[in-house]
């Protein structure tokens, strides 16, 4: 398991290539990247986080995923700071012997990272700036787990 909370960009292709490399017992690898969507007049996204708690919260979510599914490895990278449209905000990768575990665990990680990891997004654009409000549907998404 590897958790990275960083301001710097990450190399998605390289991370995917390295992840669970050589693990012939892992029949399935799922990777997901979250990208800043250039909706409307969005010019940048400022991501704030809670240093110390962020790493712990993500690790707790990853440990729970490992308890629920047969996972060989988990990777979460999440950035903070100023990001432009098109930049990758975060990624998760899961490796499992079978694809169902890898897919479900990746979705679980995403659902929990959205509303249980202490990050806050502020959008900046031509019309000014504003904090992104949490969506009810993101909270509802946790109910299925």
Partner 1 sequence: MEVLYFAWVRERIGLPKERIETDAATVADLVEQLRNREERYAMAFADLTALRVAVDQELTDFDAPLAGAREVAFFPPMTGG
Q: By CB under 8 A, name the binding residues for partner 1.
A: 34, 48, 50, 52-53, 56-57, 78, 89-90, 110, 113-122, 131-134, 139
* Six-digit token string for 127: 């019309």
Instruction: Kindly tell me which of 20 and 57 has the beta carbon lying closer to partner 1.
Output: 57
Nearest partner of 72 among 104, 101, 100, judged by Cα: 101
In the complex, the smallest distance separating the C-beta of residue 27 from partner 1, rounded to whole angstroms, is 27
Integer Cα distance of 119 and 115 in angstroms: 8
Handedness of CA 128, 131, 136, 138 (dihedral sign): positive
Q: What's the closest the beta carbon of residue 113 comes to partner 1, in angstroms?
A: 5
Beta carbon of residue 18, minimum distance to partner 1 (angstroms, whole number) = 22
By beta-carbon proximity to partner 1, the closer residue of 34 and 85 is 34
Smallest separation, CB 120 to partner 1 (Å) = 4
Are residues 79 and 9 in contact, defined by beta-carbon separation less than 8 angstroms? yes
Query: Tokens standing for 31?
Result: 């990777």
């Amino acid at each position: 398991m590897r958790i990275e909370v960083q301001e710097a960009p990450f190399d998605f292709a390289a991370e995917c290539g390295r992840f669970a490399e050589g693990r012939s017992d892992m029949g399935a690898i799922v990777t997901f990247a979250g990208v800043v969507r250039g909706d409307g007049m969005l010019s940048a996204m400022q991501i704030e986080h809670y240093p110390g708690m962020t790493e712990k919260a993500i690790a707790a979510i990853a440990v729970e995923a490992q308890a629920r599914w047969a996972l060989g490895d988990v990777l979460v990278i999440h950035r903070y700071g100023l990001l432009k449209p098109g930049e990758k905000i975060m990624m998760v990768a899961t490796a499992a012997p079978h694809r169902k575990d890898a897919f479900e665990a990746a979705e679980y990680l995403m659902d929990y990272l959205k509303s249980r990891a202490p990050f806050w997004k502020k959008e900046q654009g031509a019309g000014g700036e504003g904090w992104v409000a949490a969506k009810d549907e993101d909270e509802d998404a946790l109910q299925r787990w």
